[in-house]
Chains A and B, each alone.
Chain A
Amino acid sequence: MRTLCLAFGVSAGIGLVLSAQLPPARVVEEATKLVEEEARLFGEALADRSKVVMGQLNDAESRAIRQWDLALQGWKKENGVGGGALLSEGVLFDCLSRLHGIVTDVLKSEKAVPYFLDLAAQRPKKASKAFQAALKTDPSLTEARFRDARIRAEKDLDARKELERLSSQTGLIAYLAAMSRAETASRLNDANGAQRWYERATTLLPNAPAPRVGLAALAPGGPIPFDSLDSTDPYYSYPCVVLTDPVRAELSRRSGK
Chain B
Amino acid sequence: MLTVVFGAAALMQQPTFRSTTELVRIEVSVTNDLGPVEGLEARDFVLTDSGARQQPTVEELKDTPLDLVAVVQPLESLRMTSKHQAPRIAAGFAAFLDNINERDRLALLLSDAPTVRLRALSYGRPRLDMSAIEGSPYAATLDAITAGLEEFLPTDRRRVLAAFTNAADFRSTVTLDGLGQQARRLGPAFVLFGSPTEVRQSVSVNAVRGAIELARTTAVVSGFVFPKELQLLARRTGGIAIDLGKGDPAQLMTSAFAWMRTRYLLSYVPPPGKGWHALTVRVNRKGATVTTRDGYVVDGLARLHCLLAPNPRRRVTYRAGDV
Contacts and interface: CB of A to CB of B under 8 A. Distances in A.
Nearest to A20: B209
Contact of A222 (B12, B114, B201): B12
A55 B173 contact: no
B304 A220 contact: yes
B216 interface: yes
Interface residues of B, number: 62
Interface in B106-120: 113-117, 120
A231 B12 contact: no
Given A39-B205, A47-B221, A54 B81 contact: yes
B174 interface: yes
B89 to A, nearest CB: 13
Contact of B147 (A57, A213, A227): A213
A234 to B, nearest CB: 10
A179 B228 CA distance: 28
The residue among B177, B182, B207 with the most chain A CB atoms within 10 A of its own CB is B207
A186 B175 CA distance: 9
B305 interface: yes
Contacts of A61: 80, 137
Contacts of B170: 98-100, 239
A107 interface: no
The residue among B79, B149, B204 with the most chain A CB atoms within 10 A of its own CB is B204
A188 B178 CA distance: 11
B259 interface: no
B147 A224 contact: yes
A124 B172 CA distance: 17
A118 interface: no
The residue among B116, B149, B173, B204 with the most chain A CB atoms within 10 A of its own CB is B173
Interface in B183-235: 197, 199, 201-210, 214-219, 221, 223, 225, 227-228
A158 B208 CA distance: 55
Contact of A209 (B114, B204, B219, B221): B114
A24 B166 CA distance: 52
A220 to B, nearest CB: 6
Interface string A110-137: 0000011000000000000000000000
Interface string A41-75: 01100110011111111100100000000000000
A3 B205 contact: no
Contacts of B221: 43, 46-47, 50
B140 A2 contact: no
B241 to A, nearest CB: 15
A100 B229 CA distance: 13
Contacts of A219: 301
A27 interface: yes
Contacts of A249: none
B205 A27 contact: no
Given A55-B81, A219-B301, A5 B208 contact: yes
A231 B136 CA distance: 12
B289 to A, nearest CB: 24
Contact of A231 (B114, B147, B216): B114
B147 A216 contact: yes
A233 B21 CA distance: 42
A100 B176 CA distance: 13
A223 B12 CA distance: 9
A42 B217 CA distance: 12
Contact of B168 (A35, A54, A209, A227): A54
A36 interface: yes
A232 B85 CA distance: 25
A115 B179 CA distance: 30
B33 interface: no
Given A53-B197, A53-B225, A220-B301, A101 B168 contact: yes
Given A39-B203, A54-B168, A102-B168, A226 B117 contact: yes
A36 B217 CA distance: 6
A245 to B, nearest CB: 22
Interface stretch (A7-15, A80-88, A160-168): A7-15
B164 to A, nearest CB: 15
A224 B221 CA distance: 45
16 contacts: A5-B207, A27-B209, A46-B221, A53-B199, A54-B166, A55-B82, A58-B82, A99-B170, A116-B199, A179-B173, A209-B114, A213-B172, A214-B173, A220-B301, A222-B150, A233-B114
The 3 lowest CB-CB distance pairs between A and B, nearest first, are: A9-B204, A55-B81, A236-B113
Interface of B: 11-12, 79-83, 85, 113-117, 120, 137-138, 140, 143, 146-147, 149-151, 166-168, 170-175, 177-179, 182, 197, 199, 201-210, 214-219, 221, 223, 225, 227-228, 301, 304-305
